Structure 1
């Protein structure tokens, strides 16, 4: 009986329509890659009232307000960026994301969120102007700490932890989970007890912990994964922008993936995302020690401590491939490497960092990753793609990541098949977030869709020109409305605030 019913449903969806039907959009003759990782198939797709209403062969009785002849181009779900940055209030156009096929972004990352309470008020700040893309929000652990007065290394009291629990419990009604930034102030000062206590709250809501882990250096990477996995015994956990700083080669990449998989075999729901670049990007505080992460801490140092800091910075930067491997993206030396800035200033780079920039004075790209290792990581079965980018960040990942997935990993290097790559940008991130109505092409799903020819997709952004838009995504629909067409953004801002 079940088999007969399945055959009936298949025939209903994929046979020519025999009655008159009108759709808002009809996409004819598309090569459909549905986001599941399964092989492509050819069909027509009808969109009506924000949703996919038909998949099959449309006969002459089918009419549509708008018709697009796909001519064999690929139709996929809109890409879902698991780790994004930006402001819906200030940057609602999000043109950089649209141009590379991203229809949903995830904000509130690395422990920082725009708010920890009053999410409806936050939404009202940008609702009138709208957002061009859908927004999934996390509540930031660092923001929770600041909300209870924890701005420095002071240990959290039981009363403060209880207050964070209460705030988080309310926030998870409107957010997809908790983000942590354990390399950043103030999250780096959190104890294991604090993190586990908050993880239990996340579990009660069946949400996700998305973590910039405590240490991404190769020698400490596995222990950082273990720390997150221990939280994963209480809640689902996710590694943000998985990378190995200093690690080399495909074999090391396989060891890291195997370590993650070993935790999955123990019952921990742990996943990860990767962006397709070998330079990271974050505040210059990343090269400063734990005891000098803020300007206030720096100014409190004695002369002897500053000498110790200078020695630390010399060794730290040297290990990170030297001052020529740090490219400033903000601050007084934007566009220059640390080596070039020091030469211009006429002083050693460590003194420039201490005297002229400080731990909070700039952000930079750091060329500290191995391409072969990172390319191995992206092939992991539970590893999705992300950009870790924004409209303003001085790094090409915010403009090129998803185009580069197609251009480099599928077309040039053939590391992934197109269905595999699309799955890592659609169905897999939707599953990780717990989104059930996006990320696949199926009747009833929200119509977030992309139409493109894979060999035409180009990531044009570079480190010298990081804000160059991706090319090749011919049509982008968001919630059934056309948001992007032939390298031009429409006037429509159809993005929604997604809630779990």
Structure 2
């Protein structure tokens, strides 16, 4: 039983303001916040202990395993035997804090820090510091770390869609990347399956990796191809960059593969790289459907810099054949659920039947490569579970406040509900570790993700048996439930179903090591 470890009498609660000390110590400090009577999971994966946390300002000032000792505090939260853990860290998230700074979808599932700038796309500005300052002034609901996008660098630098950038173009990309890392970005993100990222070659990627390494950053990559017959070569491409800096596989998956043996094959590639001295990690979301733009189905030659109208006019039959083969190889039109555009909520098969035309003609004539996003049911849960158990794989959502995939509102709650309480694939300490300290370690965050004196007080109070991921593919925007208290930077951000305003988050800025 999930709570068997936690059963312990709470004892008599004394009223706020009464000051006395058990034993020889006396502490007359007036703390800003005390969380009492909780089973503390510190994020390391160690067994929980019964205790209380004392917070002053933004940080954890003291941890006391003697719950009978009383302290003076401006605010007291009685955990009443529930779990107290670090706030969850979402290593791969999406969203625009200038449009939806509240980020209630993340707060509701216990996430206190998210990382944006993913898949090669970040704010379209040559200097990211002013953008960060603007976000800080908006008081976002969660902490936000940033990566600079490789595709964005290509567009800002003028390299754009060049397959072989000039030396001048590469130098501009390197300079822009170095500036972004100096301004606080944690690293570079690549989206090599997307435009213009897929145009990059080995020389370009290695040169950028060298800049990342010199600035103490990391590369997070949506690798070039996640299909079963291409995933190994795609990982090797990323590991070549790992010669210069830490590398991280975004939302690791194998499209079409089945069985735990195949997952272990892929993990062994990463393990061999670690044995050779590389720092390699990965994250994943616990769903069998991916979600991205419908352009994923279209060939390179039908996307910019090509003009789509010209492609349709001159190569329509060839395009239709490509799409027919591509979709059928991805489990057919029934496995593509449109999440945006005029046919939102319908499968490609349903739209084809409604319009009375083959699905490939629907894609060409009615949707196009930029006309929708969709969920693609192309993954095997057994493979995902094997990845989830790996010691170097942390949890991410790859979701946003506005995406039409349940991962954006349910991921972290689902880990607890489905894989701790129901399935018992993970113990609660293991699951919390993968959503806190492991994510912090993989990302290079040094002062969050653990319950430890001196760390920022990003904290949760919850009963694991009450946590629910309410989002579904049909109703993707349903907030998770069960997280009673969410504390960010020492202040309450969510209590029960109420969210505080303004938000308690901020932009996190990575410090760059001094070059010797």
The answer to whether residue 47 in structure 2 is matched with residue 51 in structure 1 is no
**Match for residue 337 of structure 1?**
347
Q: TM-score, normalised by structure 1?
A: 0.95
Secondary structure, counterpart of 1:43 in structure 2: strand
**Match for residue 114 of structure 2?**
105
User: How many pairs were matched up?
Assistant: 487
Q: TM-score, normalised by structure 2?
A: 0.92
- 1:178-193 equivalences under 5 Å are 178-193=188-203
**Match for residue 426 of structure 1?**
436
Secondary structure, counterpart of 1:301 in structure 2: helix
Q: Does the 8 Å contact 2:35/2:77 carry over to 1?
A: yes
Question: Offset at 1:125?
Answer: 2.8
Secondary structure, counterpart of 1:498 in structure 2: coil
- 1:219-368 equivalences under 5 Å are 219-294=229-304, 296-301=306-311, 305-368=315-378
Secondary structure, counterpart of 1:72 in structure 2: coil
Question: Offset at 1:244?
Answer: 0.6
What is the distance in 2 between the residues matched to 1:15 and 1:452? 30
Secondary structure, counterpart of 1:42 in structure 2: strand
What is the distance in 2 between the residues matched to 1:264 and 1:15? 49
Question: Offset at 1:130?
Answer: 1.3
Question: Offset at 1:294?
Answer: 4.1
What is the distance in 1 between the residues matched to 2:488 and 2:312? 56
Q: Does the 8 Å contact 2:38/2:83 carry over to 1?
A: yes
What is the distance in 2 between the residues matched to 1:177 and 1:41? 35
Secondary structure, counterpart of 1:76 in structure 2: strand
What is the distance in 2 between the residues matched to 1:304 and 1:495? 51
Q: Does the 8 Å contact 2:468/2:481 carry over to 1?
A: yes
Greater Cα shift, 95-104 or 335-344: 335-344
Instruction: Specify whether residues 300 and 70 from structure 1 end up closer, same or farther in structure 2 by C-alpha distance, changes over 3 A only.
Output: same
What is the distance in 2 between the residues matched to 1:457 and 1:196? 43
Question: Offset at 1:120?
Answer: 2.6
Deviations 1:166-223 (A, max 9, x none): 1111110110000000000000000110000000000001111000000000111011
- 1:119-130 equivalences under 5 Å are 119-130=128-139
Question: Offset at 1:58?
Answer: 5.3
What is the distance in 2 between the residues matched to 1:15 and 1:471? 40
**Match for residue 127 of structure 2?**
118
What is the distance in 1 between the residues matched to 2:67 and 2:55? 12
**Match for residue 413 of structure 1?**
423
What is the distance in 1 between the residues matched to 2:160 and 2:176? 17
What is the distance in 1 between the residues matched to 2:132 and 2:352? 44
Alignment match of 2:159 (pick from 150, 155, 163): 150
What is the distance in 2 between the residues matched to 1:155 and 1:19? 66
Question: Offset at 1:70?
Answer: 1.1
Question: Offset at 1:345?
Answer: 1.4
CA RMSD of aligned residues (A): 1.5
What is the distance in 2 between the residues matched to 1:399 and 1:84? 11
Greater Cα shift, 121-130 or 402-411: 121-130
What is the distance in 2 between the residues matched to 1:50 and 1:492? 16
Secondary structure, counterpart of 2:229 in structure 1: helix
Deviations 1:417-468 (A, max 9, x none): 1111111110011111111110000111000000001111000000000000
Q: List alignment gaps of at least 5 residues for structure 1.
A: 1-13
Secondary structure, counterpart of 1:219 in structure 2: coil
Secondary structure, counterpart of 2:38 in structure 1: strand
The answer to whether residue 71 in structure 2 is matched with residue 62 in structure 1 is yes
Q: List alignment gaps of at least 5 residues for structure 2.
A: 1-21, 511-516
Question: Offset at 1:301?
Answer: 2.0
